[in-house]
Amino acid sequence: MTFENKGQVSAEYLLLLGVLIVVLMISISFISSQNELTMAMAAARNGVNDGSLYASSAIFPSDTYNEYSKANYELLIPSSVEIINVSYTDMGYDSNFDKQKIQFKVYAHTSKDLDKKELDSIGDRINYNLRKSIALTFESSKATNKLYNPVFSKHYIFTTANVKWV
């Protein structure tokens, strides 16, 4: 009689172990995708900081620099850009890339009186550095274009919305 009880207990432990393994595998998948988002957000914040700090020390193509020089754009003078917030929105499943699409949005402020074209240029630089930072983090630079738009990770495709100036 003791042999039957031991056999029954072993079968119950095996069943419990099997259920735990399934739950663990599902949890690992969830944690993995959440870890990707956490890494992407950290990379995005680093990129945004780089983009805002380099607002006045960027390398421009010669024709763009000449255009900015002739117009006396403030972009060529050190500027003070303050990042208010960096957030992302899950845009749903993208069937073209077979991944979830995440869009980052940056909220920023500048104390200088800049026109729309200047703000757009600074915003483009901020977004470029955000995407570049994510591409470097996930080592996916070769899978994207020279503007790093869009950027890929294992489970996600990342894009950016225009910087919102507040």
Q: Show Cβ contacts of residue 44 under 8 Å, excluding neighbours closer than 6 positions.
A: 86, 88, 104, 130, 133, 134
Cα maximum dimension of the chain: 97
For residue 69, what pLDDT band results from cuts at 50, 70 and 90?
Answer: low
Q: What is the pLDDT of residues 79-107, one digit of tens each?
A: 678 899 999 999 999 999 999 999 999 99
Q: Return the top range by mean pLDDT from 7-21, 36-50, 60-74.
A: 36-50
What's the pTM? Answer: 0.73
- Rounded CA-CA distance 105/44 in Å is 10
Domain ranges of the chain: 32-165
Buried b (16+ CB within 10 A) or exposed e, 145-161: eeebebbbbebbbbbbe
pLDDT score at 75: 56
